[in-house]
Amino acid sequence: MEQVKLSRTLATGASYYAANGGIAPDGSVTRAQLSAEMVSAYNTAIADVQSTTYYNTANLLEDSAAAALDNLSVAVDSLVAATTTFAAVSAVADMAADADTISEQQELKATLNTTDMTITDTDVAEYNTALAEVETYAQEAAGFLSASQSVEITSGTDNWANQNNFRMDQTATASYTAANDLLIMTFVTQNGNGYATASVGGYMTGNFKTVDDIYNAGIAYGG
C-alpha cells in the first residue's frame, strides 16, 4: 500500500529532524494515515483475489492428463482381470504339449472335464476392449502432458481465449487423438451462452514413440 510506504518515509524524515531540533509541522506525518475508504478498498481487493479462480491452458491440460491417467489405471486393472482367463488357457496348452503318455493325456482330460477352460466371445471382447482402452488413455495422458509443457501452445491459447472473451476455468474441456495428433480445447464464452474451440495439430510429433520403444519399455519396467 502506498500509504504504508509513505508512512515509513515520513517517520524517517521526522525522526531525523527531531534529533536535530527540526520541528515537523502538523499533518506532515499524519497525512500517511489510513482512511476508512482506503481500508475498505483494500479489503475488497483482497476478497476479490481470494474469490477468483486462476486457471489457464496449462492447468486444463494438466487436469486432463491426470484424468486420463486415472482412466488408464482402471483400464490396466480391467486388462489384468481379463488376462486371468487366458492364463488358465495357457496352462492347459502347456499341459497338452507335455501330455506324451496315456496317463498324462487322461489327467489332462480329467482336468478339462472338471474345469471350464473354454474361451467365450465375452472373454475375448473384454480382453480386446481393455487393451484398446489402455492404448487410448495412454495416448491421451501423454498428449495432454506434452501439450501442457509447450509454452507455444499454452501461452498462445491463453492469449486467444482472453482476446476473444472466453472463460478460462474448469468449464473448459480438452480431447486428444493420437491418430492425427490433434488437440482440441473447448471454452465457454464469458456470458455462458456459447462455445468456441481451439485446435492444435501436429505439435506433438516429436513425442511419438515406436512400437519397439513401447515393447522394450514394457520389458525393462517389468511387463
For residues 104-109, give the mean pLDDT: 68
Measured CA to CA, the distance from residue 215 to residue 217 in angstroms comes to 5
Determine the 3-state secondary structure of 184 from DSSP.
strand
For residues 85-105, give the mean pLDDT: 68
Cα–Cα separations (whole angstroms), residue 10 to 1, 24, 33, 112: 15, 10, 11, 96
pTM of the model: 0.68
Please give the pLDDT value at position 139: 95
What mean pLDDT is reported for the chain? 83
**pLDDT tens-digit map of 151-189:** 999 999 999 988 888 877 778 999 999 999 999 999 988
Please give the pLDDT value at position 18: 83
